[in-house]
Amino acid sequence: MQPKRLSVLGVGLLGGSLGLAVKSVASDCRVIGYGHRRATLDAALALGAIDEGYDDPAAAVRDADLVVLCTPVSLLGEMLDRIAPFLADRAVVTDVGSTKASIVRLSEERHPGIRFVGSHPMAGSEKRGVQFAQSDLFRNAVCITTPTDATDREALEAVEGFWRGLGMRLKRCSPAEHDRLICDVSHLPHAIAAALVTMQEDAALDLVGKGFLDATRIAGGDGGLWRDIFLDNRQNLAAAIGRLRTSLDDLERLLTPESSEALRDWLDRAAERRQAALKP
C-alpha cells in the first residue's frame, strides 16, 4: 500500500521518523500529524516530517487512507475512541505499540467497524522527541503484524505492504504470542538493564566501561512509556523474570571449579546463540 494521505497520530521520535521515512520513499504522499502540543507540531513541520499539523485528532484523520497511531501504549485506546467517528470509509488504521493484545482486543470489542491491524515496528531509540527522528529508523528492522480471525485481510496486506515499502522485514503472529515473545526479547531486557543500574553502588558506576553502557543502554528510555508497557504486559513480564531467575539458578550451580567444563559450555552456547540472532 502506498497511501496518498497518511495520518500520523503522535509526532515524537517514532511518528516523526515515520513521516520522514514515508516522504523519502513517496514524495507525493501527504503526511498529516497530530500532536497535543503546538511546539511539537511546529518542530515536526520544520523538519519536514509532516506537511500539516493539528492538535485535534479528528482533523488529523480526515480523508486519510492510512492512519498510524504513534502515541504511548496507554493512550492508544483513547485515541481510537476519539478518531472512530471521523475516519474515512475505506481508511485503514494501524499502530506502532510495543504491546498488542490490549489494543487489538479493544479495537475489536469497541470498534468492530474500523479496519484496524496491529503492528509493532521493532525500531526505536532510548531517546525521545521528534528532534531525534531519523528517516532510516525502520529500514532493515523487523515489523510484526498481529492479525486475528476478525482482521480484514485486505487491510492486513495493505499495512504489511506499507511497512515493507519502508524497508522492514515482516513477521506475523497472534497478539498474545507477540506479547509473550516480545516480552522476552524487549521488555525483560529493559527490566534487567534497569535493575542492573539500580543495584550499583556509586563507586561502581564510576568504573563502567563500554560493555556496561551497551548492556544498559535501553534502561535510558523514558520511564513513563516503559511503565505503561510493563503494566500492560505485566503477566508476561513476571513470567519472564521467573524464567530468567531459573537461568541464573543454572549458572550459579556451575560456579565451581568442578563444573569448569560445563560452565564453559554454557557460556559458549550463549555466545553462539547470540551470534545466530545477529543474522537477518
| Region label for 167, one of left (φ > 0), alpha (ψ between -120 and 50) or beta (otherwise) | left
Instruction: Give residues 200-239 in contact with its own copies (rule: CB under 8 A).
Output: 200-201, 203-224, 226-227, 230-231, 234, 237-238
Binding segment for its own copies among 31-39, 44-52, 158-166, 271-279 (CB under 8 A)?
271-279
**Binders of its own copies in range 243-262 (CB under 8 A):** 243-248, 250-252, 255-257, 260
Q: Which stretch binds its own copies (CB under 8 A): 13-21, 34-42, 85-93, 123-131?
A: 123-131
CA dihedral 98, 242, 217, 17 (to 10 degrees): -10
Q: Which of 172, 174, 192, 207 is nearest to 237 (CA)?
A: 192
C-alpha 194/C-alpha 188 separation (Å) is 10
**Should residue 88 be labelled a site residue for its own copies when binding is judged by CB under 8 A?**
no
Q: How many CB atoms lie within 10 A of CB 18?
A: 29
Question: Which of 58, 141, 170, 176: binder of its own copies (CB under 8 A)?
Answer: 141
* Binding residues with its own copies: total (CB under 8 A): 86
Among 8, 114, 144, 155, binds its own copies (CB under 8 A): 144
Is the distance from CB of 33 to CB of 60 less than 8 angstroms?
yes
Q: Residue 78, interface with its own copies (CB under 8 A)? A: no
- C-alpha 147/C-alpha 184 separation (Å) is 20
What residues form DSSP beta bridges with 11?
Answer: none
> Which residue, 136, 100, 106, is CA-closest to 118?
100
Please tell me whether residue 186 binds its own copies under the rule CB under 8 A.
yes
31 makes contact with its own copies (CB under 8 A): no
CB of 4 or CB of 217, closer to its own copies: 217
Q: Nearer to its own copies by C-beta: 4 or 140?
A: 140
Report 93-122 residues binding its own copies (CB under 8 A).
122
- Beta-carbon-side half-sphere exposure of residue 250 (alpha carbons within 13 Å): 13
18 binds its own copies (CB under 8 A): no
Instruction: Please tell me the distance from the alpha carbon of residue 67 to that of residue 130, in angstroms, as a whole number.
Output: 18
Stretch that binds its own copies, among 63-71, 86-94, 109-117, 188-196 (CB under 8 A): 188-196
Q: How far is the CB of 88 from its own copies (least distance, A)?
A: 32
* Non-local CB neighbours of 126 within 8 Å, separated by 6+ positions: 217, 218, 219, 220, 221
Q: Name the minimum Å distance from CB 107 to its own copies.
A: 21
Q: Does 196 interact with its own copies (rule: CB under 8 A)?
A: yes
CA dihedral 194, 9, 169, 185 (to 10 degrees): 20
Smallest distance from the beta carbon of 116 to its own copies, in angstroms?
22
